[in-house]
Structure 1
Amino acid sequence: MTDEPSRSPRALSDRQQAPPSPDFSLLRQFRSNNASNGDSFLPPLNICDLELMLQWVNETHGIFTRSQQTEAIWRTHVPQEALFHQFLMHGILALSALHIACTRVPRTLGDAAKDYLQVAISHQDQALTLFREQLGNINSSNGKAMFAFASITVIYAFGFPRTPEPGNTAVGDLVQAFVLTRGVQHILSQAMDTIFEDRLWTSIRDVNDYEPVLPAESRVAIEQLHKANEACTRQDPILHDSALYQEAIDHLADLMAGVHAGLGFALAGRWAIKLQPAFLDRLRDRRPLALVILAHFCAIFPQLRDVWFGAEWSTRVLREIWYALDNYWRPFIHACMEEIFGEQYAVMDR
């Protein structure tokens, strides 16, 4: 820049055709005196892990957020906590890989989704091994990490794609996910007591306020479920646990109101946590009213904000429930089937 402009057109042309090469010799002076070469202190970059963390920051964390405050926790503070707890870091990377495997269109002709699924499994296996070692000692130093990983595990369990296997059923798979959610709640409760000393995390316990208002179609569905419960009570007042079904229906109504208000997956997890073990037993036994209540839950699953796995659960479970019910009970899930299958429902075997 301090050179005088050349007055020779030829000299200017030569300069433009042959720009000087950058000289990086100055940067070599910044090297440590103890380092014989530039990469002696660092392992090579793991591009896959960097991609997964970018996926978490940009998208995957969103399924946990309920407000600007909780968005900051899951997007920023949870990864910072993971720097000190390897099980949480592996959990973050596992869920991000699973998210990519389930949603991203492969960029090549190869089975890219399968590769990401294997990455997710590998990270989750490592995370669980390290996580179990600390389960018996949840304290102020690991409480936030334990809370975050337990929450991630629930989403991972719901989001992992199931393949039909002998002896497994869609309803059984969903019940297993409910059982895991209920079990994780115990860990969340223990960890919750340890994190409120940090003001940056206090909003994690806040529950979104919403009006318990049901849209018309949901109100009709809840009324039908109440009438079905009353009919079962009249038919078998001794063996039919009316209060058990009443509670499940009331919680379902609360879930429908929350979804109508725009809330996300946390509300569905809360519904699973509130289910009594006896109700889960009714689902395992394929009791018709229990299956009908579950069908209504599955019909609203795809409406949950930021949930990428709801459609798969809904189609698998509802199809199985439809064929498990007889002609008396099928009309109770007619609206659910139309919601999920649309025109396909009209040609299903009835």
Structure 2
Amino acid sequence: MPRLGHKKSRNGCQQCKTRHVKCDENKPCSSCARHGVQCSLVPWDPNALPPQPVKSAASSSTRVTRAPAQTSTVAALPIEYVLNPSPAPTAGTSDTGSPHSQTDPFPYLTKFVNKCDTVQPNYWVRDLELMHHWTTEAFNTVTERDDIRDMWRLAAPKQAINNTFLMHEILAFSALHLAYQQHDQRRAFYALGIHHQDLAIRAMRKVLQNVSNDNVGALFATSTLVTLSVFGSTSLHALYLNPSSTRPSQDPIEDILDIFALVHGVGGVLSSAQHSIKDGPFAPMTKLLPYETPHQPVFDKVIDHLPDLIAFFEAQPMNEDMREGYLDVLSAFREKAAFSRQPCIDGREIRFLFSWPLHIRPIFFTWLRQRNPGALVILMHYAVVLHAAEPMYWFMNGWACRIMETAEAVDPSWQPALQWPSELIKIQAQQQRQAQQRQEQSAS
């Protein structure tokens, strides 16, 4: 006999079913509203922020109030609902009945169930989607060299099985590439990318304390993808994802300094293990090609312009130690630019963008953080190469123009040194827009 006053319903939300609690079937239900989670009774809006927990007056008056932590990008996006918008219900609360109940409609399957009923979220489905995208498209965007492409497509996923930091970073890069491609799902894939990137970095931090021959290759590959993913995620966020809602600052100078620090830090840890990398599955990244590759004229332009820039620095009134520091930075700039235009170099732009920050004095980063005009002028010449990389590498999109907009505010006495890189970036930007318009017209 049913209990008096008890109304049984199968229309409750999936979250209440998972928690084995009664659902009041409001939209959203009071239980989900109280916990601040997405309710399955309410259609999910990928552009909406996640619901906030509802606190009672009694609880708010008795609990200790903590200072709010700095808002992170991932905290402002519904990552749990992105990963599993329709959580798999427990078998005991399923609308079709438990496999062990008398109303089981599929008895011919039940006898093969070996474990008790458990909640099995479908997180792995999204991860499989990201891995499929990596092996079919995303790996192609890292490099234009065939042997390195094969390495990323075949060797990297295999190595990632035993190195979860690499697995998470592969999935992060794949998700961010999908966010770049699919405008209507940009926020969802961006949230997935940041989620996996966080997991990759946390796992990587632990392993970096114990670098060995067994993990150094995977660490090297992960650090490469992390840097590219940071370029891409920062660009996506600054250009498309309403930066004021999730990050208090969108300063391209601070952003690029963070990347320089990342390259310096990881590069220093892994530098002592280069011989192990050259003998491992990621060796193709350390080897030069035996044949010539297409020329990149931007390095010729930069090298030809450097004598005028050096003369400008020599003529500027400044402390001699600072002048010497700037000239050392420009010398490293010329050296790396000359290396990057050699005939048998692949990925010329990426190699320069990674290698130059490794060979400059740390004091330059301090000057850059202080917005010293000399440091901003040199960074603008770095931005010229950044802009040249944009047509080939989606994760570099928008960086050069953002840096240019900030650097152009220098003291008027330094404006002549900015004229050449600014004009070159603007010309390249116009050419890229025209080429894109021609592609769109031909496609239509």
Quick check: TM above 0.5? yes
CA positional deviation for 1:333: 2.2
Which stretches of structure 1, 4 residues or more, deviate above 4 A after TM superposition?
A: 164-168, 208-216, 258-262, 342-345
The amino acid that maps onto 1:204 is: M
Tell me which residue corresponds to 2:302: 218
Q: For residue 284 of structure 1, report the CA deviation from its aligned partner.
A: 1.4
2:440 aligned partner:
none
Contact 1:264-1:306 within 8 A present in 2 as well: no
Paired with 1:137 and 1:254, the residues of 2 have a C-alpha distance of: 36
Number of residue equivalences = 304
Alpha-carbon contact 2:329-2:361 (below 8 Å) kept: no
Report the Cα offset of residue 247 of structure 1. Answer: 2.4
2:232 aligned to 145, 159, 163, which one? 159
Query: What is the TM-score of this pair, normalised by structure 2?
Result: 0.60
Amino acid at match of 1:193: H
Structure scoring higher RCO (CA < 8 A, sep ≥ 6) equals: 1
Tell whether the 8 Å contact from 2:169 to 2:222 is kept in structure 1 after alignment. Answer: yes
| Equivalence for 1:15 | none
Identity of aligned residues (%): 25
Amino acid at match of 1:194: S
Deviations 1:265-318 (A, max 9, x none): 233111122222111122112222221111011122132273213232111111
User: In the alignment, is residue 318 of structure 1 matched against residue 407 of structure 2?
Assistant: no
Looking at structure 2, the residues matched to 62 and 308 of structure 1 have their Cα atoms a distance apart, in angstroms, of 11
Q: Structure 1 residues 261, 45: CA separation in 2 closer, same or farther (over 3 Å shift)? A: closer
Query: Is contact 1:87-1:131 (8 Å) kept?
Result: yes
| Contact 2:227 2:263 (C-alpha < 8 Å) held by counterparts | yes
Please state if 1:298 is matched with 2:376.
no
Partner AA of 2:219 in structure 1: M
Of 177, 186, 207, which residue of structure 2 is paired with 1:134? 207
- Name the aligned partner's letter for residue 177 of structure 1: I
8 A Cα contact 1:82 1:89, kept in partner: yes
8 Å CA contact 1:88–1:127 kept in 2: the answer is: yes
2:393 paired with 1:307: yes
Q: Which residue, 120, 124, 129 being the options, matches 1:51? A: 129
Matches within 5 A, 1:208-287: 217-232=301-316, 236-237=319-320, 239-241=322-324, 243-251=327-335, 253-254=337-338, 257=341, 263-287=348-372
CA separation in 1, counterparts of 2:418 and 2:273? 39
Contact 1:94 1:120 in 2 (8 A): yes
Q: 1: distance between equivalents of 2:253 and 2:158?
A: 37
Q: 1:264 to 1:235 in 2, by over 3 A?
A: closer
> Which residue among 154, 159, 168 is the counterpart of 1:81?
159
Q: What's the RMSD between the two structures over aligned residues? A: 3.5
In structure 2, relative to structure 1, the CA distance for the partners of 1:183 and 1:71 (3 Å cut) is: same
Instruction: Work out whether residues 150 and 184 of structure 1, in 8 Å CA contact, stay in contact via their aligned partners in 2.
Output: yes
* Cα 1:317–1:256 shift into 2, 3 Å: farther
In the TM superposition, what are the counterparts of 1:91-240 in structure 2 within 5 Å? 91-106=169-184, 112-161=185-234, 162=238, 163=243, 165-166=247-248, 169-198=251-280, 200-207=281-288, 217-232=301-316, 236-237=319-320, 239-240=322-323
Q: CA deviation at 1:142?
A: 1.9
Question: 1:235 offset after TM fit, Å?
Answer: 5.5
Moved more, 277-286 or 158-167: 158-167
Take 1:216 and 1:195, find their aligned partners in 2: how far apart are those partners?
A: 32
Evaluate the alpha carbon distance shift between residue 78 and residue 238 of structure 1 in structure 2; reply closer, same or farther with a 3 A threshold. closer
Q: Gaps spanning 5+ residues in structure 1: where?
A: 1-34, 107-111, 346-350
Who is 1:348 aligned against?
A: none
